[in-house]
Chains A and B, each alone.
Chain A
């Protein structure tokens, strides 16, 4: 079991993601620079948050064309696990591994706060051991997290249970007042068709230790790890 955290110029959660995997879960983890062309044998690839290439052109647009992304696409197409967090989610949408796009937040403000998420399906490696209906509290920090896709794709995501997380109130109910960035259908995280690629705007890696006041984020990586270990057993 190995993990890789891809670093782009402007990534700023790369070391958070590295600590998340390596120190908290004891997964041998490598940092992989964006100009590299292989992922050092990783089973799990994390695209971290930040402002890759200064958000030039569109958030994630330049990173999606970086040399390392061919290896990430190949890893994803062969069923390998990929988690894109925040800017990582934007990159996965830009490169076409996930449907949709992340628009400017509806209220135009950069949002830096905790949000509540409801896990909408246990049918993915990232949520099998989290459980449908579980409410997590996680931090967000983004300017462009307003999920958008066309009506046909939205229907397909709903039908195929590929919406993994939705913004909810603390009781776990979808409520527009708690859909802080105005995302379509309150979508906070989506799965690829193969269910092995996850993109999400909130930051589980920043909230996975008691010392940080919140351990809710650990559930996602724990689930992915257990799934991978079961597959390797």
Chain B
């Protein structure tokens, strides 16, 4: 199975990098940009293990390592079962 996991800062958690990127875009003339939130994604390949067994585990990956629940939320998406 191939999956993509997105990890992003929760609403209300200050994102100074996103703010700097937003300001840089505005500085380049993209005045329509209101805000930018910066996050990250992980492409995960579990090989030949069937997808249906893996989906609950993807969330475990996030809870146990990929995201810090104090500051981050996550979403998981199976790209290739």
Contact = CB atoms under 8 A, between A and B. Distances in A.
Contact of A103 (B13, B20, B65, B66): B13
Q: Which of B17, B66, B70 has the most CB of A within 10 A?
A: B70
A99 B70 CA distance: 8
A229 interface: no
Interface in B40-69: 65-66, 68
Residue picked from A65, A103, A106, most chain B C-beta under 10 Å:
A103
Interface residues of A, number: 20
Contact of B16 (A94, A101, A107, A150): A107
Interface string A56-73: 011001000100000000
A182 interface: yes
Given A57-B65, A57-B66, A65-B65, A101 B71 contact: yes
Contacts of B20: 108
Contact of B70 (A101, A104, A182): A101
Interface majority SS (helix, strand, loop, mixed), chain A:
loop
A100 B17 contact: no
A106 B17 CA distance: 9
A187 interface: no
B14 interface: yes
A35 B14 CA distance: 35
Interface residues of B, number: 10
Contacts of A150: 70
Interface in A88-109: 93-94, 99-101, 103-108
A103 B68 contact: no
A101 B67 CA distance: 12
A149 interface: yes
Contact of A108 (B13, B16, B68): B16
B14 A94 contact: no
A150 B68 CA distance: 13
B70 A61 contact: no
A104 B15 CA distance: 8
B49 to A, nearest CB: 22
Contact of A101 (B17, B65, B66, B68): B68
Given A57-B66, A148-B13, 13 more contacts: A61-B65, A61-B68, A94-B68, A100-B70, A101-B70, A103-B13, A103-B16, A103-B71, A106-B14, A107-B16, A146-B16, A148-B70, A182-B14
